[in-house]
Amino acid sequence: MNIKQASFVISNTNYKICPNDNKAEYAFIGRSNVGKSSLINALTNNKTLAKTSGTPGKTQLINHFIINKNWFLVDLPGYGYAKISKVLRAKFKKMISDYLLNRHNLICLFVLIDARHKLQDIDKYFMQWLAENEIPFSIIFTKIDKLNKNNLAKNIADFKNKMLREWELLPEIFITSSPQKSGLKEILKYIEKLNLKFNSNQ
């Protein structure tokens, strides 16, 4: 699938006023600075669609983008950002969990993981929470351009082994670099398949 058209729709703090939920939706989440907004820009081939930054904590709202007039990509704030107050962190947590638990057209949540790091507790617990709440998700490794092939293969194998200690089956996994634009076709193909399923059930 090609993305021919991508435009910003709205930013919200409340899932209740997100755009009409009759279209399939795919959201991106993960630790602050993992590359969520950059990946949305790479997928849509638009350098400025989602706001990116070298400093963590850039995305603070639920941002909807309409793609090919037909489905949504959603850029979410990151978790695990240390430099915010407890009150603000609790507010973010509620905003994101309300969105994830109540957005019925959310077909798949992409959980982004920095390929350079070992499986972190915060990601592990977050994915457990997703499973407990039956929120469908896939994993996307980011920033693979920062690793050589051997280290990348080792990190991903270690990550999968750790996951398999607690999970019977692994979710779909994608391996990407936004600047090198690698792994993007696979994600778009996956979305295309899920879109077909969504539309045939409508």
Residues of this chain that bind ligand GTP (CB under 6 A): 32-38, 52-54, 56-59, 77-78, 142-143, 145-146, 177-179
CB 15 within 8 A of CB 62: yes
CB 75 within 8 A of CB 110: no
Q: Which does 57 bind (CB under 5 to 8 A by kind): ligand GTP, Mg ion, none?
A: ligand GTP
For the bound state, the minimum distance from the C-beta of residue 76 to ligand GTP, rounded and expressed in Å, comes to 8
With CA atoms as reference, report the closest residue to 178 among 112, 124, 79. Answer: 112
Q: What is the DSSP letter of 15?
A: G
CB 75 within 8 A of CB 50: yes
For the bound state, the minimum distance from the C-beta of residue 73 to ligand GTP, rounded and expressed in Å, comes to 13
The 3-state secondary structure of 136-199 reads CEEEEEECHHHCCHHHHHHHHHHHHHHHHCCCCCCCCEEECECCCCECHHHHHHHHHHHHHHHH
With CA atoms as reference, report the closest residue to 79 among 102, 108, 109. Answer: 109
Q: Which residue is nearest to ligand GTP (CB)?
A: 78
Residue placing its CB nearer to ligand GTP in the complex, 21 or 130? 130
For the bound state, the minimum distance from the C-beta of residue 178 to Mg ion, rounded and expressed in Å, comes to 12
Residue placing its CB nearer to ligand GTP in the complex, 145 or 166? 145
For the bound state, the minimum distance from the C-beta of residue 202 to ligand GTP, rounded and expressed in Å, comes to 31
Residue placing its CB nearer to ligand GTP in the complex, 37 or 195? 37
Residue placing its CB nearer to ligand GTP in the complex, 119 or 175? 175
Residue placing its CB nearer to ligand GTP in the complex, 118 or 146? 146
Residues found near Mg ion in the complex (CB under 5 A): 36-37, 58-59
Q: Which does 179 bind (CB under 5 to 8 A by kind): Mg ion, ligand GTP, none?
A: ligand GTP
CB 68 within 8 A of CB 3: yes
